[in-house]
Amino acid sequence: MGLARAHAIALVGVQGHPVEIEVDIENGMVALLLVGLPDTALREARDRIRSAIVNSGETWPTRRITVGLSPASLPKRGSGFDLGIAMAILAAAESVPAGALHGLVLIGELGLDGRVRPVPGVLPAAAAAAAAGFDAVAVATENAAEAALVPELRVIAGPSLSAFTTFARNGKRSGSAGVEVLEPGRDLGSYYGAARYGRQERSSDGLRTAAAMEHAAWASAAGSAAALTMAAPAAHAEAKDLADVVGQPLARRAAEICAAGGHHLMLLGPPGVGKTMLAERIPTVLPRLDPRAALEVSAIHSVAGTLPPGRPLLIDPPFCAPHHTSTRAAIVGGGSGIIKPGAASLAHHGCLFLDEAPEFGRDVLDGLRQPLESGEVVLARAGVTARFPARFTLIMAANPCACASASTSGAACSCSPLARRRYLARLSGPLLDRVDAKIEFLPVRRSELLSDRAFTEPSAVVAERVRAARQRAAARLAGTPWRLNAEIPGSELRRRFAPAARGLAPLERAMDLGRISARGADRVIRLSWTLADLAGQQRPGQAEVGYALGLWLGAPP
């Protein structure tokens, strides 16, 4: 009986922090003391761990057990420390060699029967373990594919505590990265049989792939993520196409511009004119995520526990459409206890669609102003500050009034002018000032629907133009931390990316008339650069600036 150490990872937002688990077993009153700022779920681990050890055929030390989690000032939340605490207790009791835990991070929740259950946040936790110098991570079988995305990190996956104790006693760890799957322990053989970590569903069309092959393709080099990005099937394979939006050519053009430059979009019009249809089809023209962005998005969804089964890596831009009754914490992030990312972070590198935007709470909408500017959400709690990436394209849709009737459609509107102003005033001026393009939808007649069908383009055609425009922007912004025109700060716009000579004349006239703010002027310039990229021009001129100004004002030519 003595002292042993193991290691786990504590997540604060999407940032992982190594935690040293120290276990001391000494003579005294039989008890298990847990110190080091554990939360309620972690305090309850005492009973889970005792039952898991006993039901795995191991001997529970009938002495005083003290478990210390260091650093003690860092809050520890969740059940992912169970496996590390259990293995450290067995090592202190000399049931397993203490040296087998060196250089190993253990992440997993224990069931009362000794099963190791998956936990959220394994991808950022494994990345933090690799950054801290650990060479291996032990996780539940279901989390193995997620952890295997981290290059040069050995993944040890097992279904039960007894499988890990057997490995600690007999396993010989090599220095090479890879996935090692442990056989089920004898106490859980009836549950698992000869099942091993292997083939899983990878896509909706029934394509199956071996997880070991996936790891071999991904963990071999730093560019392994690009291999899977090219090989995985697209998640767009639904029956949604931009060509379905008929009778709104101006809105389709605005959607293409916003997709090419990452600009925010406001859609205003009566019901049934295609606002929601257009918003849902914008992701179909966006290119797949590059390897770095794919890992960022997957890490956020891993922390939130929203990764699809069998898909440890998300390669398509996410699309989040929360209901208008959602709370501020659901949109921006937060919560009591464990801080969870909100819809703004889940839409990172994708689209956040707020349908019926005036129906959202005023504090919810104003809470988006910070991430629209900085590209991240900062949530401060007692003793901890969590940061979640939140660089998304905001799409808002709204009716012209509360009764949703438009005078142009011939329907009688029951709202007074004051009621209409109050309805749209729920969208604050500072929020609308951050929206790059504003489009008004008008009711479409049968003749317009028939004539516009000849001019609609499928998503694949528009996506090719968007991809080419983004490539031009990326080439121009090479060597900078930005990749899209919407990400360029205003100071850099004026210093390094000014439009052509006399190209700002329309914008200058609008500023002299007080029709646009300084922030709006920067957004107009960013829009003009996207228009130039779509047109294949080296620099925007008066035509691009004038069109961009019309989009910002809500009256494009």
Give the pLDDT score at 39: 83
Give the pLDDT score at 210: 31
Q: Are residues 534 and 491 in the same domain?
A: yes
- Taking phi over 0 as left and psi of -120 to 50 as alpha, with beta for the rest, 425 belongs to alpha
Last residue of one domain, picked from the residues 398, 421, 445: 445
Flag whether 37 is in a domain: yes
Provide the 3-class DSSP secondary structure of residue 293.
Answer: helix
Q: Are residues 251 and 192 in the same domain?
A: no
Q: Are residues 164 and 249 in the same domain?
A: no
CB atoms within 10 A of CB 177: 19
CB atoms within 10 A of CB 553: 15
Q: Are residues 297 and 381 in the same domain?
A: yes
Answer whether 52's CB lies under 8 Å from 110's CB. Answer: yes
Q: Are residues 108 and 137 in the same domain?
A: yes
- The angle formed by the CA atoms of residues 21, 22 and 23, to the nearest 5 degrees, is 120
Q: How far apart are CA 81 and CA 286, in angstroms?
A: 39
Backbone angles phi, psi at 24, to 5 degrees: -120, 125
Flag whether 204 is in a domain: no
Give the pLDDT score at 1: 60
Q: Are residues 384 and 478 in the same domain?
A: no
Q: Are residues 435 and 477 in the same domain?
A: no
Q: How far apart are CA 239 and CA 3, in angstroms?
A: 60
Q: Are residues 403 and 472 in the same domain?
A: no
Supply the DSSP symbol for 477: T
Last residue of one domain, picked from the residues 410, 445, 480: 445
Flag whether 232 is in a domain: no
Q: Are residues 370 and 421 in the same domain?
A: yes
Flag whether 220 is in a domain: no
Flag whether 235 is in a domain: no
CB atoms within 10 A of CB 11: 25
Supply the DSSP symbol for 38: B
Give the pLDDT score at 417: 82
CB atoms within 10 A of CB 132: 13
At 387, which CATH number? 3.40.50.300
Flag whether 221 is in a domain: no
Provide the 3-class DSSP secondary structure of residue 395.
Answer: strand
The number of distinct structural domains making up the chain is 3
Q: Are residues 313 and 429 in the same domain?
A: yes
Last residue of one domain, picked from the residues 197, 222, 251: 197
Answer whether 521's CB lies under 8 Å from 407's CB. Answer: no
Flag whether 32 is in a domain: yes
Q: Are residues 19 and 89 in the same domain?
A: yes
Q: How far apart are CA 11 and CA 122, in angstroms?
A: 10
Flag whether 440 is in a domain: yes
Q: Are residues 301 and 163 in the same domain?
A: no
From first to last of its 557 residues, the chain has per-residue pLDDT tens of 689 999 999 999 899 999 999 999 999 898 999 999 888 778 888 899 999 999 999 999 999 999 999 998 888 888 999 999 999 999 999 999 999 999 999 999 999 999 999 999 999 999 999 999 999 999 999 999 999 999 889 999 999 999 999 999 986 555 556 678 876 543 333 222 322 222 233 232 322 233 333 333 333 333 444 444 444 434 444 578 999 999 999 999 999 999 999 999 999 998 889 999 999 999 999 999 999 999 999 999 999 999 998 889 999 999 999 999 999 999 999 877 678 999 999 999 999 999 999 999 999 999 999 999 999 999 988 778 899 999 999 999 999 888 776 545 555 677 888 888 888 889 999 999 999 999 999 888 888 888 888 889 999 999 999 999 999 999 999 999 999 999 999 888 888 888 887 889 999 999 999 999 999 999 999 999 999 999 999 999 999 999 999 999 988 76
- Domain residues for the domain of 347 are 242-445
For the four alpha carbons of 439, 441, 442 and 445, in that order, the dihedral sign comes to positive
At 88, which CATH number? 3.30.230.10
Q: For 281, how many CA atoms within 13 A lie in the half-sphere containing its CB?
A: 25
Answer whether 463's CB lies under 8 Å from 240's CB. Answer: no
